[in-house]
Structure 1
Amino acid sequence: MKMSHREDKETSKNDQQFVWPWMGVIANIKTEVKDGRYVGESGTKIRQELEKKGFNPVRVQALWNSRGHSGLAVVEFNKDWVGFCNAIAFEKSYEIERRGKRDFYVSRDRGDKLFGWLAYDDDYYSKGILGDHLRKKGHLRTLSNKKAEEQRQRSMLVADLQKTLEIESSRLMEMESKYEKTKHSLDNLVIQKDEMLRAHNEEIRKMQQNARDHLAKIYLEHDKVTQHLQAQKHELRQQEEELELREFQNEGKRAKLRHDKEMVERAFLEQQKANNNFLRLAEDQKREKEKLHRKIIELERELDDKQSLELDIERLRGARQVMKHMEDDDDADLKEKMKQIEESLEAKEEPSPVLTVQHWRTNDELQDARKELIKTFQNNTSRAQIWVKRMGELDSKPFLIAAKRKFAAKEANVMAVTLCSEWENLLRDPGWYPFKGITEGENRKEIIDEEDEKLKALKDEYGEEVFKAVSKALEEMNEYNGSGRYTVPELWHSREGRRASLKEGVAYLLKLWKPQKKKN
C-alpha cells in the first residue's frame, strides 16, 4: 500500500532530527567594532521582541567568540510539545518573510534584517561556535523517538497505577472487613449507651426537679430578705441624708466659729499691738495733740477775723452803693465820706501777704498732722471706727469665695491666692487702662469700661463679686495715684465708708487715749 504525499511528509518530519530541548537560531545580528571587539544586541532585547510576537522563549543567548559578538544567538524554548509548537511558529514566521535558513545561506545582500530557523542535526554537527554551543546545551532527537519515549513513560505510569490499584483494592477489602466488625461492636455500644443515657436523663430530670423546688423555696426566702434589706437600705439612706445634712450644717457652724475665733484672735492681737503702740506713743501724741489743739484754736481765731473782715467789706460796699445814689447832692461832706469809704474798702480787699504765708504754713502743718495720724492708726483693723485703708488695694475675700465655688477644697486656697496675685500685678501695670470718659453737663469724668476684654472675661468666669472687687480697686487707684499705679494709705471712717476728716481722727485718738491715761 502506497503512502500519500502528506503521510510521506509527516513520516519524514517524524524521522528528522531536532536539537532538544527545542532551540532556534537567530542570525545576521548587527554588530559594530568598539575598542577592537565586535559588539551587538543583547539576548535580553531579542527575547523581549520574540515575547511580543507570542513565541514565549525561555531565554535568548548571544554567541561570543574571541573577536566579540559573532552575530548569532540561540533561542531556547520549553521542553514540552507547547515549546515545540512555539519553535515551529518561530521558524515559520521567518520563512514567510523569506528570512529562513535557506534564505540566509543563498542571499548575497542580507542587509540589517534578522534571519531565524529551528536548529536541526546539520546545525548540531556544524563546525564553529554554533555547533559547539548546540552540542553543549542539547542533543538530537526525532519526533518519533520523542513520541515513543513519552509512550513508554505513559505505559510505565499505567502499569504502576494498575499495580497500585490492585494493592489498594486488597487493602480496601481488608478495611471493609474490619469496618463490619467495628460497626457491629459500635452498634452494641450505642444500644448500651442509649440505655445508660436514658437512665442518666431520668436521674438528671429528678435532680433538676428537686433543684427547681429547692430554688423556688430559696427564691421566696431571698425575696423576703431582699424586701427587708431594701426597707433597711431606704431607712439607712434617709438616716445618711439626715446625717449629711446635719454634718453640713455643723461644718458650716464650725467654719463660722473658726472664722469668728480667728477674727477675735486677730482683733485681740491687733488690739494688743495697738495698746502697746498707744502706751509707747502716749507722751508724744499728747504733745502733738496739745500743739494741734493750739493750732486749731489759732485757725479758728483767724477764721473769725476773716469772717469779721468780710462783714466789714460787705458793709462798706453797701455804704458805697448808698453814697453812689446820693451823688446828685451838693453836700461836700457826703462826698468826702464816700471817698473815705472807698479807700477803706480797697485797703480791706487787698490780700495780706502775712495771712497768705500763714495759710500755706497752716495747710502744710495740717497735712503733716494727717500723716502722723495715718502712722498712728496704721495697725488698726477695719473693725475700728477710724483706721488706715490702702486705696487701690485688692480685696481677696471674693477671690476665695469664687475659687471654693469653682475648684476642689484642696485647690481653692492656692488658686485664690494665685488669681489674686495675678490681678494685683495687672492693677499696677500702667499699660492697662480700662477706663472710658463720659460727660455729665459741663463736667467730664472717667468710669470703668465694663466692655474691656480682661474685665469681661473675669466677670464671665468668676462672677460679679470678683468683678466688683477689681473695679473698686481700679477706681481707687485711678483717683489717688493714677500715674504711679500703687496703693496709697488714707484715713478712713469704717462705719460710714468714707474718707475721715482730721478732726474726726483727732477726736477718735483722744477717745482711745483717755482710758490708757487713766490706767497709767
Structure 2
Amino acid sequence: MDYSSEEDSDISESEIEEYKEKPYEQLKSGKYKVKSLNGTLRCPFCAGKKKQDYKYKDLLQHASGVGKGSANRSAKQKAYHLALAKFLETDLASEAEQIQRPTLPPPVNPTVEQNDLYVWPWTGIIVNIKNEPKDNVSGYLLKRFSKYRPLDIRTFLNKDDLTIQAVVEFNNDWNGFVNATDFEKTFDAEHHGKKNWVSGKSNPSSNIFGWFARADDYDSAGPIGEYLRKKGKLRTISDIVQEASESRNTVVANLANEIDLTIENLNKIQYQYNEKTMSLSRMLEEKDKLHYAFEEETRKLQWRAREKVRQILDEQEKLSEELERKKKILDLRSKELNRREVLTEQERQQLEEDREKKDVRNNSLQLASMEQKKSDENVLRLVEEQKREKEEALNKILLLEKQLDAKQKLEMEIEELKGKLQVMKHLGDEDDTAVKKKMEEMNDELKQKIEDLEDLESMNQTLITKERYSNDELQEARKELIDGLNEILAPRTNIGIKRMGEIDDKPFKNACKERFPLGEADIQASILLSLWQENLKDPAWYPLKVVQVDGNPQAILDGNDDKLRSLKEEWGEQIYTAVVTAFQELNEYNPSGRYTVSELWNFKEKRKATLKEVIAYIVSHIKSLKRKRT
C-alpha cells in the first residue's frame, strides 16, 4: 500500500515528531506490511522504488536516513520513515537477532539428528492445555512462546479428555529449525517433553507438554496427525542440507554465468567508450582549430571595421565643420534681413495689440458699468420696496389702532345706550308718547352704531389678512436670501448665515486639547460634540421648568437637570454655556422638530439681521466687485 495517496497536505518540520505516531500505530495494526510472506523486509512508503528487498540493517539505515537527513523529502515523508524506524527498533528487533544467528548451527548429535525424520515445515506440538483462557488460546500461546518466533498456532479440541492441543508453525529455514529445537529443549528441561507426556499418560498432570514434531507424530491418529499429513511432509536434515547445497551450487553457477556475461558486456562498453573518447578528442582538437581561426578572422574584421568607421567619422567631421561655417554665414544674413523686417512688423503688431487691448478694456468697462447699473437699480428697487412695505405696515398698524379705539368707543356707546334704554323701560311710563319717541330714537341710534361696528370689524379683518400676507412675503424674502447668499456671504463678516441650534465647537476643542494628546484631541472633541448634538435632537430631553413671573407662567432653564449638571461638573462652564445656548436657540426657532434652522445673523451685535442690513451688505459687496474688475 502506497502512503502517497493519503498525503493530501504536508506538515511543518516542528510537527514531525507528533505526526509520526499515527503511521506507527498503522504499522503495528498491520495496515502497512513490512515483512512479506517469504520473510524478506521492504519499505511500505517507497513502493515505487526498484529495490524492495532489504536486510534489517539496511532497511533501518534507509528509514533513519530519510527521516532525519533527507533534504528532498517532505516533512510528512520524514514522519512516515521515522515511524518505520521506530517500528523496526521496537516491534521487529527480533529480525536483527535472527540475522546474527548462524545459518546452519552444528547439531548436538549429528549421527542421530542427520537421519531423524522431522515434519517439514518445522512444527511443534503442545498438549494438555487446560488452565489457559478459552476465548483466545492461540493469541495467548503466541504471546507466551513469542521468543521462539512462531508463525502461527492452530488449536484442536481433544474429545477424549476435553483438553486443547495445539500445533506451532515455525519458519521453514534453519532459523525456524533452531527455534523449534529450542522450543523442545525448554519443555525437556522442565520434564514436560514428549517422553514425560507418554510415560505420564496414566496419571496426567495440569501442566502443558510440548516437543518437536517427528515421524511418529506425523503418522499418529487424531486431528494433529491429520493436520500434519495435510500441511507438511517428513524430511531428514541430510536431505535438506543436500537440497540446499544443490540449490546453492545452481545459484552460484548461474551467478558465475551472469558475472561472465556482465564482464563481457563491460568490456564491450569499455571498448565503445574508448572509441567515443578518441573521436571526441579529435572533434575537440578540430573545434579548437576552428575557434582559433574564427577568432583571428574576427579580429581582422573588427580592425578593418574600426579603420573604416574612423575614416567615415573624419570625413563627417570635415563636412560638419564646412556646413557649420556656411550655416553661420546664412544665419548672419538671415538675422540682418529679419531685423530689418521686424522693425516695421513689430511696430505694426504693437499698435494692433494696443488697439485690441483698448477695445477689450472699453468693452469690459462698459459691461461692468451696465452690470453695476442693473445691480444698483435692483438694490434701490429692493430698498424702495422695503421702505414702502414698512411704511404700509406702519400705516396699517396705526389704522388698526385707530379702528380698535373707534371700535372700543362704539362698543362703549352701544352699551351706554342699552343701559339707558333699560333704565327708561323700568322708570318711564309706557303710555307716555314722548318717552316712546325717545326710546325709538335711541333704538335707531343703537342699530346704526351696531352696523358701524360690524363695518369696522370687517375692515379690521381685511387689514389683518393683508398684514399676514405682507409678513409671509417678508419671511419668503428672508428664506430666498438665506438660500441664495451662501456663496456671497464670507465666513468672517459681520452679516452672515447662522445655523440656529448648532453647538459651537471651539469650547470643545479647547477643553480636549488640555486633557488629551495633540493627535487625539480633535477626535475626542468631535465625539463629544456629536454626542451632545444628538442629545439636543432627543425630544424626550426637555431641561426646562415652568415658573410664575408676575402672575404669568414662563419656561426657564432647569439648573437641576442631571445631564446639564454632570456636563458642567465634568467639562466646565464654557462647554455648558455652548450647549445651553444651542438648546435655547432650538427651543426658540424649532421647538417641535428639534433640528437646526438657518437664519440671517448680525455676528457683531449677536442678533438676527434685518433685511436692510443684508441689502446694504450686498450693495457694498457689488461695489467691491466693480472696483476689482476696473
- TM normalised by structure 1 equals 0.47
Structure with the larger RCO, 1 or 2 (CA within 8 Å, 6+ apart): 1
Alignment TM-score, normalising by the size of structure 2: 0.40
